[in-house]
Amino acid sequence: MADEEWVDHRDDALPPLWVGTERTGNRTPECLGRLYQAGPNGALRDAIVKVIEGALEMVCLCSFLLSDERIHRALLAVAGRGVRVYVLTASREQLERLPKDEERSRDRIQEHQRRLDELAGKVLVRCSNQFHAKFVLADPGAVWASGILSTANLNPALLTNAELGVTMGADDVGAAFAFFCKAFWSHAVNELRQPGELATCQGRAFPSPAPHPRVIWTLPESTGLGEQVLGMLENATSSVTVAVYGLDTRHRAFRMLEDRAKAGLEVTVLLPVRTKVGQAAIELAKAGATVVGVDRLHAKAIVADDQAVVMTANLETHGLDQGCELGVVLNVDETIELLDLLERWEASATWRLVAKATVGQVLGPVMDPGSGETGDVVEEANGHRGRLRWAHRTKAKKKAKR
Amino acid sequence: MRPIELKRTVPVHVFETVASIAVPEARPDLLAVVHLVGARGEATGRDVGRDLLGMDAGLGWRVLERCQRLELVTREQNSGPYRLTELGHRALADEQILLPERSAYAFYWIDDPLLPEVVLGWRAMATESPHDRLALDKETRDLAKDAKAGRGPARAACPRQLAGLLGVPTAALHDGGLVRLLELGEGFADTAGSVELILTLCADQEPTLRLHGQVDSQRIDRSLEVGDRVEHTHGTLWRHLVRNAVNVPDERLEEWEARFGIGTVGRSFSELGDAARRAFEERLTVRNVELDHAGRFDGTSLTVAIAPESDDDAHQWADWLVWDGLHDHHARHELEAHLTAVTQRFPHHRVELPVPGVFLQDARRRLRDDHRAWRLVAPGDLGLWEVTHG
């Protein structure tokens, strides 16, 4: 040991990495007034169930996937007492095309299809390749109408993911209902008549919903939601905070976000730690944005200065330019609630993206954003040593010196 | 009105016997004589000898005598010139001479009220070779021996239906070939399968008859003259069958005809199945079709136009059709068009369907039990109800 020569790697440069923060990812409380976050206590799910159970005449539900047991039972219960229930959901073709590395596993899809078959005949279910929005409306048109927009699919994601929900008042529900009707009549491709029996449906001519100041959407004939998002990013003067599951580096929204970060705007981006957004995370961090990785993040929200939107669309073509997506522009109180929540998520984020660092500046678990390969940078004696690709390189150098 | 088709199975009889029959052959020598006699009206031996043979009259007379034995020509009191017989005229027309032969034959025949005493075909059971004749004689002796010992079929006299055809040229049905039965001895009678007889009556057309099946490996499929043995027209037969099927008196048939037109049967809504309600047609089952001179036919089914017996039936029927026709979601104006179309299917009744809004209310009540109710309720709930374009 006496002749062992130590090589100091603390000044070696590291590639861009997710670096572990040793934080817990604690996401309580789940209810913040009009805003909800998903969590193990089920506050968001309870709010959705409450909307359904409170319906006297009609429930309109849209969810890409639908397999939550309590929501399922609530739908059957209200249908049993004569409430008309309409459901829009993903088509089988769309589900079969889902990549297997998505958080939506085959089991969840099978459960979704089994639940739909149980609903068949009792509620009216229509499917489409376009439907990705998630929301529930009760008694639209009535003064007691209520509703809730969820970024979570109505499945176990309501308890496990980092998701958002925002309640809607009667006026919002009216606008979301107009969106629902348009999607139902013009963009559904199948109707579930009997368990397992999907009838083809032709798109019907139906009036497009009138623009609404608070409820915004993407439809094949309308990109109001995308325009709102781009406008918010473009017009922000002090800060932008974005939480999003999908982020396409080729999309205009990404480029605008990157440009604003480069221009010195305070940009914070909360992303799930998944390889599909790895490159976007690196580029945003390089542009100067604060990028943190939040476990199981699936929420989609943007706060630009004092404007905020919670939505179901990712910052991708299929979301802002195509498909059926819904968003709610938050009022001041809700915006404060959202900012508070996103700050909590940021503060408790288990990963942060470090675009430029040396071995000596990093200690603990690390992950390659592009490949998902994990490792540790550890301190030994009077230096730091990593155990990833760059660590192998340092070992080799050490042997050569001997 | 649709054609009416009646069928029955007709047994085919077979009679195997040693017989003399005359069958057609192309005999230019004899045909030339027949032509000469036919052309001249009558001819002597001298005519034949001179014109055909270029020889003396004696040979001409012998040729004419040969023709006389074949019953092609005849003359009065065995003297004077010869004239053509009926067979001779037929030979002239067919360009064939029926020449007698004697052998063992199987004759296949049917005896049906619409086709009495009809020979379907015949088959020589042995050739003229000495070997076959010996075999035939042995077979006949063996059969007789068996019959005597009670081990086989008894020899029978020629059946009446075949005996009635003796001397008359008869066309066999399977190939239209002529045969003239000259002498039929005792033989063995049996049945040899069956053929199907089909009587078809169309409105404003003569009835047609068709026989098809297989006899002794020969396929038979022939259209035949019905003649006057079928007294029914399409209309009278239709009534006969409907009366039989629905068990109603003539007065009721006349009442339906007066109210709904020819060929329509009044029916109560509750009696009908879904297919009949949709098509306004019903298949009536008719058992035991017995026609006076044409005999008994198999039970059949008759597809008839139907109409509601009463205005109440019409109303229930129309309501049923409205719901049955909801194959897709309907806007109000589409339901109105559907209601109009349904109403127009009852030109002989007073049908007043409720307005679309009443159907929408009804649909909400039916929703739990009838999935079709969604096709009104969903448009009502989700805004399509009032959409008028597209």
Query: In which domain, by residue range, is A186 found?
Result: 35-213
Contact (CB, 8 A) for A184 and A86: yes
Q: Do B329 and A184 touch (CB under 8 A)?
A: no
Q: Please provide residue A256's backbone torsions phi and psi, each rounded to the nearest 5 degrees.
A: -65, -40
pLDDT digits (tens, 9 = 90+) for B253-286: 999 999 999 889 999 999 999 999 999 999 999 9
> Is B248 within a domain?
yes
Interface of B with A in 232-251 (CB under 8 A): none
Residues B219 and B241 in one domain: no
Residues B11 and B139 in one domain: yes
Chain A residues lying within 8 Å of B389, measured CB to CB: 205
pLDDT at A391: 45
Of A213, A243, A262, the domain-final residue: A213
Q: Do A86 and B381 touch (CB under 8 A)?
A: yes
CATH number of the domain within which A188 lies: 3.30.870.10
Of B224, B243, B269, the domain-final residue: B224
- What band does B148 get if pLDDT is binned at 50, 70 and 90? low
Q: How many CB pairs under 8 A join A and B?
A: 42
Q: Do A84 and B377 touch (CB under 8 A)?
A: yes
Instruction: Taking residues B175-186, report their average pLDDT.
Output: 85
Residues B335 and B290 in one domain: no
> Is A391 within a domain?
yes
CA distance B347 to A63: 49
pLDDT at A113: 87
Residues B305 and B317 in one domain: no
Predicted TM-score of the model (pTM): 0.77
Chain B residues lying within 8 Å of A58, measured CB to CB: 381
Residues B104 and B147 in one domain: yes
Residues B125 and B184 in one domain: yes
CATH number of the domain within which B89 lies: 1.10.10.10
Which residue's entry shows tokens 């945003």? A284
Chain B residues lying within 8 Å of A186, measured CB to CB: none
Interface check for B287 against chain A (CB to CB < 8 A): the answer is no
> Is A230 within a domain?
no
CA distance A136 to A171: 14
Length of chain B: 390
pLDDT at A389: 44
Residues B280 and B183 in one domain: no
> Is B8 within a domain?
yes
Average pLDDT, chain B: 88
Question: What chain A residue is nearest to B383 in terms of C-alpha separation?
Answer: A181
Nearest to A205 among B371, B383, B389 (CB): B389
Q: Do A206 and B383 touch (CB under 8 A)?
A: yes
Question: What chain B residue is nearest to A87 in terms of C-alpha separation?
Answer: B378
Instruction: Taking residues B129-149, report their average pLDDT.
Output: 60
Of B260, B281, B309, the domain-final residue: B309
Q: Do B387 and A121 touch (CB under 8 A)?
A: no
Residues B159 and B181 in one domain: yes
> Is B229 within a domain?
no
pLDDT digits (tens, 9 = 90+) for B305-334: 999 999 999 999 999 999 999 999 999 999
C-alpha distances out from residue A20 to A247, A267, A312, A363, Å = 22, 20, 28, 8
Instruction: Taking residues B93-98, report their average pLDDT.
Output: 88
> Is B40 within a domain?
yes
Residues B375 and B274 in one domain: no
Contact (CB, 8 A) for A104 and A147: no
Contact (CB, 8 A) for B186 and B157: yes
Least confident window among A166-175, A269-278, B124-133, B350-359: B124-133
Amino acid at residue number B323: W
> Is B356 within a domain?
yes
Residues B291 and B347 in one domain: no
> Is B199 within a domain?
yes
pLDDT digits (tens, 9 = 90+) for B278-306: 999 999 999 878 888 889 999 999 999 99
Q: What angle, 0 to 180 degrees and rounded to 10, lies between the N-to-C axes of helices B28-40 and B57-69?
A: 100
> Is A310 within a domain?
no
pLDDT at A10: 78
Of A157, A187, A213, the domain-final residue: A213
Interface check for B387 against chain A (CB to CB < 8 A): the answer is yes
CA distance B280 to B273: 10
> Is A108 within a domain?
yes
Give pLDDT tens digits along chain A (402 positions). Answer: 445 566 677 788 889 999 998 777 666 789 988 999 999 999 999 999 999 999 999 999 999 999 999 999 999 999 999 999 999 999 888 887 776 655 556 777 888 889 999 999 999 999 998 899 999 999 999 999 999 999 999 999 999 999 999 999 999 999 999 999 999 999 999 999 888 888 999 899 999 999 999 999 999 999 999 999 999 999 999 999 999 999 999 999 999 999 999 999 999 999 999 999 999 999 999 999 999 999 999 999 999 999 999 999 999 999 999 999 999 999 999 999 999 999 999 999 999 999 998 888 888 889 999 999 988 887 765 555 554 444 434 443 343 333
Instruction: Taking residues B250-254, report their average pLDDT.
Output: 91
Query: In which domain, by residue range, is B295 found?
Result: 234-309
Q: Specify which of A393-402, B142-151, B337-346 reaches the highest per-range mean pLDDT.
A: B337-346
Interface check for B381 against chain A (CB to CB < 8 A): the answer is yes
Q: Is residue A29 reached through a cis peptide bond, with omega within 30 degrees of 0 on the bond before it?
A: yes
| CA of B355 vs chain A CAs: smallest distance (Å) | 22
Paired tokens of A401: 């010196």
Of B80, B95, B110, the domain-final residue: B95
Choosing among A78, A139, A185, which should be mutated to test the B contact, i.e. which has the most B CBs within 10 A? A185
Total of domains in chain A: 2
Core vs surface per residue A101-113: b (16+ CB within 10 A) or e: eebbeeebbebbb
pLDDT at A26: 65
> Is B201 within a domain?
yes
In this structure, the strands spanning A307-311 and A84-90 are unpaired
> Is B386 within a domain?
no
ipTM: 0.89
Residues B297 and B202 in one domain: no
Q: Do B382 and A121 touch (CB under 8 A)?
A: no
Does the structure show a pLDDT above 60 at B85? yes
Torsion of CA B231, B237, B243, B249, to 10 degrees: -60
CA distance A386 to A169: 53
Greater confidence, A236 or B115? A236
Total of domains in chain B: 4
C-alpha distances out from residue A129 to A132, A183, A248, A327, Å = 8, 11, 20, 19
Nearest to A86 among B371, B378, B390 (CB): B378
Interface check for B384 against chain A (CB to CB < 8 A): the answer is yes
Of A182, A213, A244, the domain-final residue: A213
Q: What is the DSSP string of B285-351?
A: EE--EEETTTEEE--EEEEEEEEESSHHHHHHHHHHHHHHT--S---HHHHHHHHHHHHTT-TTS--
- Give the H or E element holding residue A292: strand A290-293
